[in-house]
Structure 1
Amino acid sequence: MNEHTIDTIIRDRARITPDRIAIAERGRTWTYAELDERSDQLARGLVAGERVSTLTGNSGEHVALMFACAKTGAILNPISWRLAAPEIAYQLDDAEPSIFVIEEEHRALGEAALELALVQPSLEIGESGEGAGPAPSDADPLFLIYTSGTTGKPKGALLTHANCFWTNLSFDLATGIRPDDVVLQVLPQFHCGGWNVQSILAWWKGAKLVLERGFDPARALELIEQEGVTTMMGVPANYLFMSQEPGFADADLRSLRLAVVGGAPMPEALLETWAERDVHIVQGYGLTEAAPNVLCLAPEDARRRAGYAGKPYPYVSCDLSSEGELLVRGPNVFSGYWRNGDATAAAFRDGWLLTGDIAERDSDGNYRILGRLKDMIVSGGENVYPAEVEAVLHDHPAVADAAVVGVPDERWGEVCAAFVVAESSVSEEQLREHCRERLARFKVPKSFTFVDELPRNSMGKIQKSELNVPA
């Protein structure tokens, strides 16, 4: 019996609350009945198992297509419009979609990718009017989402209906969304978080989702007041840029009862900035292969455990390997990489998903993410976690943003190099002294490079490989 398929969410909502607003986007709103009807129309042109690739910004139409895939057993492959044409062509050739939906705004990029790709999918979804076929099962894939590819070529993570069901249920049990919530969604829909962090859960609960094409910090602050936004999710960069807006101090944030952060550790200084506006940000941690929710800090612990990602969500288990790597197990963990058995096997050890992230666990079972296993710096035989040094730098009042990487050193093997975005005048020596007072000597950066901004990927994560390390 299949009880955990995502198509039931929109069918039930269209039956129970048909006239309630499901999506508010610039220029229009979608009721639950309208979203269900449109997804039915699109479903008539899809078949089970086929891949439907998309190159589109956030939109209600994209949501309708996702539910159409859910109703038919098709697999949605949302591709980032921030990629270059050769990168998109690689994903198309790897996924082999039968349909490639290109939004007009990204037409030139999509056509350039198709010129490079071997596959030539249809650019339209037909509406044959035929039945959709057998209902999807819990184990059927719903999303094919490619990882960022920080090492080697990107790999396509397959997320099943059951993965999405359980990750949304666990999220609801930990932080919750109410039927009367107004959810601000700024995360891109080409990322797992754009679906399984608040969005699908909002539609499950019958809430209203304010869907933005992208993230604009000034507009986000305006929408919180205008729409009465009660909850949102973002990465640290989203909250940083909002706090740097001239209107942040006077913005009306009274409606915002729950703000969730994930994607990277949140600097404690930034948490304090938001707490001063009576908004307590709830830390979380996840990765695409876990659909993505893994750790969450209870709202009542937001300040007491500042800097921690929290405890495993309900139905999720975590542990630490002998190397300190965070391990994850649960029904949210993905079924594997698309057509890549070797990579799938390498992602697991004794049934545990290997996250590649180094963490520590306190006596109460709360986890703190220290950094990527591959980013760990070994200086004179001592382990240095960049996140720890970055947190100290963020505590300096002149520092708006910071990143720390390891660089070769003849004496110590590796030393820390810091890249700093300053919002007021500060010298290298002042920052070095600030670190000396708070860190062991081997953790203090040997060099400080001032930059206008740090390179980030589509989810706001700092791309340390793109930093120009001083010789």
Structure 2
Amino acid sequence: MNNTGDLTLGRWVTERARLSPDQVALDDRGVALTYGLLAARIDRFADALRAAGYAPGDRIVTLTGNSADHVALFFACAATGIALVPLSWRLTPHELAEQLLIADPVLAVTEPEHGRTLASALGRLAEPAPLIDFADFDAGLPRRDHHGEAAPVRPPTDADPLLILFTAGSTGRPKAVVLTQANCHWTNLQFGRAVPLTSDDVVLTVLPQFHAGGWNIQLLLALWVGATVVLERTFDPRRALHLIEHRRVTTMMGVPTHYLMMAQQRRFATTDLSSLRLLVVGGAPMPLPLLRTWHARGVRLTQGYGLTEAGPNVLCLPPELAVEKAGSAGVPYPHVTCAIADPVTGELLEGEATGELLVRGPNVFAGYLGDPDATAHTLRGGWLHTGDLVRRDAEGHHWVLDRIDDIYISSGENVSPVEVEQALLHHPAVAKVAVVGVPDDRRGEVGLAFVVARRGVAVDEQSLLEHCRGRLASFKVPAEIRFVDALPQASLEKVKRSALREEATR
């Protein structure tokens, strides 16, 4: 692959604006922004950054909800070779400060809603970056201090970091995933070949822009091909149904919980969904009953699997196989190669197999910012080691079973927490559940299930254990059921098991 900038994203909106300047690019909470106006805003942001001395290799952090300004800043960073580091507004100032130490930004950008939180986080650092509001791009940016050196001036290259996203992983310690310009280009190209968009599409975007999916699943691709993006700050199921009907939305990406909440609305049965041609599902497998609910409304769905380190797209399941291969994450995207390795020996396994999923392709990240040891461990032998245990069938379809680190051994047998969780979710009183292995003097480890019960449904520990005994081998039945109000979330549909393990020892 060359390094000249052929794959950089900074020209995507500018080129589209030449073709269709009056086409609506973004519908930001009812405010329409055409491709011509969006391109002008991107140019204004990029010019302001250059004029203030910001240059390729710099990093800018943001704390903001989804917005047209945030999209414009992303493309301004792409045009100048600067990396955007969007932080999560769900975090506390203490957690944000930990990530700021890793990101080491030269500038922090926010909006009034989140300004106080980011200011508090920056205030915990010895040398905080200057903090501005999006409105300051027109008023003038603080000068970038190059300590007497001239600001480097060069065009962006394919290898320049563009998007740096934090992921907790299985350890709970934040890691900063570096996605280059080329990584983002390829992951959108791959997605577009499997789940195409055109300039006629209207894309509803509800995923937060501190996740890879908030950018690289539909939003950037939509702006590349000239579609219209209906940009939402947060997900509200009633509003989502309203937007689908009245904005004539053709596609969206969500996690199973989003689609469940929409299907539970009273308006779901009467909402006009005829504009929808395809829904994209990620984060976790779509339960078959929920799949049938949407199919009954005439809506096609495509499911998939990904991780931030892959940009995030790895596997996808075509909508025509959604029922036949229910629960499967599908086959690799175009330009993605997958393998399965024996978790103990590392040997690559052929045909039907169960083991660790390995990934290779131009979408695979450049490394973890400031963490060469973690990078070397994850990117070894020419493969991205996902840490996910998967099963591949004879036709090449993959089922994601569990995190390898989450498997525990009870009475000498491997137990997958996900299998136990699925058994418990079949009980009508269980809304959510997460299982972790905890030490046991007699059996080595046993399962501890944290259960969020459904409101208004009576249930106790004994009834859930009896339910498990009817579905699971004795060594898989949890030793204890612990009822909780909520489960700690790592991202999207993923539970933060490390926090539950800590809770189990208290």
Normalised by the size of structure 1, how large is the TM-score?
0.93
Any idea what the Cα deviations from partners look like across 1:99-154, whole Å, max 9, x if unmatched?
110211111101111110123323344479xx995321111111111212552531
Query: Which of 240, 243, 247 is the equivalent residue of 2:260?
Result: 240
1:337 aligns with 2:340: no
Matched with 2:486 is 453
**1:181 and 1:462, CA in 2 relative to 1: closer, same or farther beyond 3 A?**
same
Structure 1 residues 153 and 429: alpha-carbon distance in aligned structure 2, compared to 1, 3 A threshold: closer
1:81 pairs, out of 69, 89, 98, with: 89
For residues 259-280 of structure 1, the C-alpha deviation after alignment (integer angstroms, 9 at most, x for no partner) is 1122233334433443344334
Aligned-residue offset at 1:458: 4.7
What is the letter of the counterpart of residue 217 of structure 1? P
Given the superposition, is the C-alpha separation of residues 250 and 106 from structure 1 closer, same or farther in structure 2, using an over 3 Å criterion?
Answer: same
Q: Which amino acid aligns with 2:121?
A: A
Q: Which of 347, 364, 375 is residue 395 of structure 2 equivalent to? A: 364
Q: Which residue of 1 is the match for residue 497 of structure 2?
A: 464
- Does structure 1 conserve the Cα–Cα contact (< 8 Å) formed by 2:288 and 2:323? no
Compute the displacement of 1:457 (Å). 3.6
Unaligned runs of 5+ in 2: 50-54, 144-150, 344-354
Instruction: Measure, in 2, the Cα distance between the counterparts of 1:347 and 1:205.
Output: 33
Report if aligned partners of 1:93, 1:118 keep a CA contact under 8 Å in 2: no
The amino acid across from 1:211 in the alignment is L
Aligned match of 1:281: 301
2:8 is aligned to: 5
Cα gap change, 1:153 to 1:401, in 2 (>3 Å):
closer
CA RMSD of aligned residues (A): 2.3
Check the 8 A contact 1:43/1:132 in 2, yes or no.
no
Q: How many Å apart are 1:429 and its aligned residue? A: 4.5
Within-5 A mapping of 1:309-388: 309-323=329-343, 324-388=355-419
Cα-to-partner distance string for 1:44-102 (whole Å, 9 max, x where unaligned)? 12222211111111000000000000111111011111111122222223222111102
Alignment of 1:294-309 (within 5 A): 294-309=314-329
Equivalences, count: 469
Stretches of structure 1 lacking an aligned partner (at least 5 in a row): none
Q: CA deviation at 1:359?
A: 0.9
Contact 1:22 1:32 in 2 (8 A): yes
CA distance in 1, matches of 2:125, 2:254: 33
Which residue does the alignment assign to 1:439? 472
Alignment of 1:56-95 (within 5 A): 56-95=64-103
Aligned equivalent of 1:209:
229
Classify 1:443/1:273 alpha carbon distance in 2 versus 1 (closer, same or farther; 3 Å): farther
> 2:504 and 2:292 mapped to 1: Cα distance?
31
- Residues 456 and 95 from structure 1, CA distance in 2 versus in 1: closer, same or farther, beyond 3 angstroms? closer
Residue 103 of structure 1 is matched in structure 2 by: 111
Q: CA deviation digits over 1:157-180, x for unaligned, max 9?
A: 110111011101111111222221
Question: Structure 2: how far apart are the matches of 1:356 and 1:272?
Answer: 31
Counterpart contact for 2:157–2:181, Cα < 8 Å: yes
Q: CA deviation at 1:425?
A: 3.8
Matching of residue 140 in structure 1 with residue 183 in structure 2? no
Per the TM alignment, residue 363 of structure 1 is displaced from its structure 2 partner at its CA by 0.7
Distance 2:159 2:419 in 1: 40
Pair 1:166-2:169 in alignment: no
Displacement of 1:348 in angstroms is 1.7
Q: Write the distance in 2 (CA, Å) between the matches of 1:279 and 1:430.
A: 37
Separation of aligned partners in 1, 2:431 and 2:7: 44
What is the match of residue 117 of structure 1? 125
Q: Which amino acid aligns with 1:344?
A: T
Q: Distance in 2 between matches of 1:302 and 1:12?
A: 36
2:291 partner SS:
helix
What percent identity do the matched residue pairs reach? 54
- The alignment status of 1:254 with 2:274, answered yes or no, reads yes
2:45 maps to what in 1?
A: 42
1:225 aligned residue: 245
Letter in 2 for 1:5: T
Mapped to 2, the partners of 1:253 and 1:378 lie a distance apart of 47
- Deviations 1:403-429 (Å, cap 9, x if unpaired)? 222233333222223333343344544
Cα deviation 1:198-257 (Å, max 9, x = unaligned): 110011111111111111222222222121221111123322333333433443333222
Aligned AA for 2:393? D
TM-score w.r.t. length of structure 2:
0.87
**Is the contact between residue 235 and residue 263 of structure 1 (CA under 8 Å) also seen in structure 2?**
yes
- Tell me the SS of whatever aligns to 2:128: coil
Select 1:156's aligned residue among 148, 170, 176. Answer: 176
C-alpha displacement of 1:329? 0.6
Letter paired with 1:453:
A
CA deviations on 1:316-363 (whole Å, 9 max, x unpaired) are: 111111111111110000111112221211112211011111111111
Deviates more, 1:250-259 or 1:182-191: 250-259
